[in-house]
Amino acid sequence: MPKKIFNIFENYWKALGPGLTTGAADDDPSGIATYSQTGAKYGLNMIWLALFTFPLMAIVQEMCARIGLVTGAGLAYNIKRNYSKKVLFICALLLLSANIFNIGADLGAMAQGVRLVFPHLNFALLVIIFAVFCLVLQIFISYKKYSKYLKYLTFVLFAYVFAVFVIQIDWFQVLKHTFIPNIHISKDSLILICAILGTTISPYLFFWQTSQEVEEYSLIPQSAEGISSDLDIKNDIKKMRADVWSGMFFSNVVMFFIILTCASTLFKNGITNITTATDAAYALRPLAGNFTFILFAIGIVGTGLLAIPVLAGSVSYAVSEFFGWKEGLYRNWREALAFYGVIILAVGFGILLNFIGLDSIKALIYSAMLNGLVAPIIIFLILGLSSNEKIMGEYKNSKLIKFFGWILFLLMTLVGITTIISLWF
């Protein structure tokens, strides 16, 4: 029986692909900082967002994956083909701005995390080392091998799950706050809600998910319409759904436990404003004791290594599809010089942001908020593409999916507008 269970788990693990990687990349340093600040500042009051955002996040990622599977093309290419090049230009520009800021914040957080353990190391040198390491992996290792490495990096995030079981927790209160929303409206709470939505339902994940579904079948011949001629689309969509929903569930479980851990440690002990990496690391102290900083550094570096390639890659897919360049991580760098060139430039600008006095913790939260402001624009286009029968045929959105998709669009638009107003006034 144990062997049978192990085999089932092994087969399930092997079947997971872009969905799991995308979900894990969602819990990047920006996500960790945002969720940590949420738990520290508001305790359990916002933990319900982990449950609330899960189906919405999974639905939009499934729409993106379905677009990739059915059309055999990335999200940017589909936007250009079915809207206009101007619309794609605006989307690519917004994505580029948000992602470069996010890359810079993630690199800074990774460097700060390591300096908790080795304070004598130079911050700027660490930023450059991590950036170069990410680029070398992404450019010189084949996608097939690289995706396997990305999957195993997701285990780093379980530190926050394990931490909960060595802390005294009132589980009745946890369940109560999980299923009964507690909405406190203020300038700070609006910024955090926008940041939570932005770091959970992020534009870069939309582009990455679509393109990765295409890359999964990049070696299979395509028909003139772009649909893979040798694929059983229904079977592939079924597999994709299991992958996407598993990945998004994993992402939100980690989100739930980060908020819970910080609420039960930082908030409980009066640390309600995370301003440094040290403040954020203390949430893991009950689990790691004197090894707290080491565990936190591993978590930040691991998630950063997972997220930066996704951030840079999603920008490059969008820009390459805008200009019609050859693109794809399955291609050798010599075949797609422009594609890999954009990745290098995005990471390079991210490095530069750390030399202008960027506050890494604040930057992580504000990068999440910036994603929250950009996301509704892209979601609007995704809904149009995935609901269009001419594009998707019988695989267009169902009425239920469309309903929840528009709910998500309206919700994120409302939160974005109110956040901008609160910042302005």
**Angle between helix 360-386 and helix 48-71 axes, rounded to 10 deg:** 50
Residue with tokens 């992602």: 99
Query: Which domains are assigned to the chain?
Result: 26-424 (1.20.1740.10)
Q: What is the pLDDT of residues 176-232, one digit of tens each?
A: 999 998 877 888 888 999 999 999 999 999 998 888 888 776 544 444 444 444 456
Region 303-326 average pLDDT: 91
The amino acid sitting at 407 is I
Residues 6+ apart with CB under 8 A from 344: 135, 139
d(CA 40, CA 151): 29
d(CA 160, CA 35): 11
Q: What is the pLDDT of residues 255-306, one digit of tens each?
A: 999 999 999 988 988 888 888 777 888 888 777 677 778 888 888 888 888 8
3-state SS assignment for residue 232:
coil
Assess contact for 72 and 395: CB atoms under 8 A: no
13-17, 56-60, 212-216, 252-256: lowest mean pLDDT where?
13-17
Q: For 325, list phi and psi in degrees, rounded to 5.
A: -80, 160
Q: What is the pLDDT of residues 62-101, one digit of tens each?
A: 999 999 989 988 999 999 999 988 899 999 999 999 999 9
Overall pTM > 0.95: no
Q: For 185, list phi and psi in degrees, rounded to 5.
A: -95, 120
